[in-house]
Structure 1
Amino acid sequence: MDTKQLADFLRVRREALDPGDVGLPDTGRRRTPGLRREEVARLADISTDYYTRLEQDRAPQPSPGVLRAITRALRLTLDERDHLFRLAGHRPPDRRRSDEHVAPSLLGVLDRLYDVPAQVMTDLGATLVQNDLARAVFGDLTRLRGAAGTVVYRWFTDPRARAGYPVQDHATESRALVADLRAAAVRRDDAQAKDLVKRLLRASPEFEALWRLHPVGVMRSRRKRIQHPEVGLLELDCQVLVDEERTQILALFSPAAGTPTAERLTLLGSLGPLAAQRSSR
């Protein structure tokens, strides 16, 4: 671990960012250039004290999880991310297998979305980053790891994942998730996708029955209905933007026209962290 170069790299990258680059409000002229340390720490969901010690060359070795969070907070490119990992004494993630690096361009779009829920996900359905409104609607899904981090695995193995959806929508949701996973698994043809399918086949007879029907379909747009515990029924039109390598998607959830969903999203946004704590979809 090269703590001196690590500290310098973090400081230089922080000072190169303006608040608007990361979706923060511009509060006027600053005495020093770039983001404040506490802003980077908040974006990375780590303590300000720990981040400060990293920049001051007096912190213990950061974990890969912390490095991934800092990568997103500082909007690093893949090359910069790999450099960060090496400075911190870790091997960089394998680009051929890892899909957890969110491109700065996708993060830039997400930063500017305030009035609709939006989140970046892998094509296997793991949530990588969410805006505040998405956390309020779906709960904080970014902390989940492994198979349980994917929406399709939770749907077929954890009854709580279906609790917020009207019962009459369950069959349609099940088939759509299986069809999307089938397309992604063949497109990727990697160990991660194969392992997810094997786990689901062992864990869920419903999944196994649908898998045998061989449905195929990439989810690009559809209507989702969610019964939120704080504001009631939300009817959302989901639109999906796909990155160039088709390994990540930006999912946007717009309020359906002719429904009270827009007003309910506004109310939900005003509830802040409380809503996210009570929601998990």
Structure 2
Amino acid sequence: MDRQELADFLRSRRERITPADVGLPAGQRRRTPGLRREEVAHLAFMSTEYYTRLEQARAPHPSREVLAQLARALRLSDAERDHLHHLAGTPPGPPPGPSREVRQSIADLLHRLPQAAAIVVSATYEVIAWNELAAALMEDFSALPRHERNLARRAFLEPYPSGRRLYSVSDADEFARTVAQHLRAAAGRYPDDPEVTGLVDELLAGSEEFARLWAAHDVASRPTLCKTFDHPVVGPISVNCDVLDIADRDQRVVIYTAAPGSPSEEALRLLSVVGTQRLDVPG
């Protein structure tokens, strides 16, 4: 365990996070860059005294649980999490939960696809990145709290504000089956992650359909190559559906494209112009 390097690394990660990043007020007399030590300790569910000793290179060897809590509180990337473990003298194990960090090159890719609607979903089907056309086709994810950006909840728990299950897609039942199968596999990869287990428990309690699919213990699914969205503004839009796996993040890029020259391509082009505005709202 390299106590001094660990202390310096923790301090540098703490100082780069703003209070707004974690939902805290900035305050008037904040003298230190980033978060205060007591704020990190609170986010990591540990005492301020213990965290302070870590930054002062005076603390005993931290456990894997403590390291996982620090990684979450400091919003470390996968590489930073591994580095933290190595500094603490504890080789990194499997990630504690599904990654929500979208690689910058993937985020850039979404916005370089102006004629395609594209999203990134985590292993628990949380929409963690999207482009403008996806927001117009599906819904404005930026206007939703994180809890409601989850497509598993969208598939099984109703009602939602729009009143449309899964955006009125033609393969809603097949998609729900796929979600249950992928969540079954994710639960096996992250058996101790509270967000994964909490989501599964919520779906089991709130959906008989999910409980039935979950009981089947299926983990394989067939890819959906095309589907139709019944959009409330421009009507039916038939699209090809391609899914690209990001193996190192356990994420998926979902890309929706329309056949060239088709009415659906024209509908997508219209959506790219109007964005998330509602054309059917009276003036």
Distance 1:131 1:248, change over 3 A: same
1:248 and 1:65 mapped to 2: Cα distance?
25
Deviation of 1:128 after TM superposition, in Å, equals 1.4
Q: Secondary structure in 1 aligned to 2:227?
A: strand
Distance 1:161 1:182, change over 3 A: farther
Distance 1:99 1:119, change over 3 A: same
1:197 and 1:148 mapped to 2: Cα distance?
15
Distance 1:127 1:164, change over 3 A: closer
1:153 and 1:270 mapped to 2: Cα distance?
29
Q: Secondary structure in 2 aligned to 1:225?
A: strand
- Residue 192 of structure 1 corresponds to 195
Partner deviation per Cα, 1:136-159 (whole Å, 9 max, x = no partner): 001122454455331011221124
Distance 1:275 1:162, change over 3 A: same
Partner deviation per Cα, 1:223-259 (whole Å, 9 max, x = no partner): 2221001111111222112223242222111114685
Paired residues of 1:99 and 1:247 also in contact (CA < 8 A): yes
- Residue 64 of structure 1 corresponds to 22
Root mean square deviation, CA, Å: 3.3
- Residue 170 of structure 1 corresponds to 172
Q: Secondary structure in 1 aligned to 2:198?
A: helix
- Residue 249 of structure 1 corresponds to 252
Distance 1:232 1:277, change over 3 A: closer
Of 245-254 and 223-232, deviating more is 245-254
Deviation of 1:121 after TM superposition, in Å, equals 1.7
Deviation of 1:273 after TM superposition, in Å, equals 3.3
Q: Secondary structure in 1 aligned to 2:155?
A: helix
After TM superposition, the runs of 4+ consecutive aligned structure 1 residues lying more than 6 A away are: none
Distance 1:276 1:240, change over 3 A: farther
Q: Secondary structure in 2 aligned to 1:273?
A: coil
- Residue 100 of structure 2 corresponds to 100
Paired residues of 1:224 and 1:237 also in contact (CA < 8 A): yes
2:181 and 2:121 mapped to 1: Cα distance?
17
Distance 1:258 1:120, change over 3 A: same
Paired residues of 1:183 and 1:216 also in contact (CA < 8 A): yes
Deviation of 1:62 after TM superposition, in Å, equals 2.2
Q: Secondary structure in 2 aligned to 1:215?
A: coil
Deviation of 1:64 after TM superposition, in Å, equals 2.0
Q: Please tell me the residue identity of whatever aligns with 1:64.
A: V
Which structure would you say has the larger Rg?
Answer: 2
Question: How many pairs were matched up?
Answer: 204
Q: Secondary structure in 2 aligned to 1:63?
A: helix
Q: Does 1:201 align with 2:204?
A: yes
Distance 1:226 1:254, change over 3 A: same
2:113 and 2:209 mapped to 1: Cα distance?
36
Paired residues of 1:156 and 1:200 also in contact (CA < 8 A): yes
Percent identity of equivalent pairs = 28
Q: Please tell me the residue identity of whatever aligns with 1:188.
A: Y
Deviation of 1:127 after TM superposition, in Å, equals 1.0
Structure 2 residues not aligned, in runs of 5+: 1-11, 25-31, 41-72, 82-94
- Residue 53 of structure 1 corresponds to none
Q: Does 1:268 align with 2:277?
A: no
Q: Secondary structure in 1 aligned to 2:141?
A: coil
Deviation of 1:265 after TM superposition, in Å, equals 0.2
- Residue 118 of structure 1 corresponds to 118
- Residue 212 of structure 1 corresponds to 215
Of 137-146 and 201-210, deviating more is 137-146
1:272 and 1:93 mapped to 2: Cα distance?
31
1:177 and 1:263 mapped to 2: Cα distance?
30
- Residue 231 of structure 2 corresponds to 228
Structure 1 residues not aligned, in runs of 5+: 11-59, 67-85
1:218 and 1:276 mapped to 2: Cα distance?
37
Paired residues of 2:203 and 2:211 also in contact (CA < 8 A): yes
- Residue 155 of structure 1 corresponds to 155
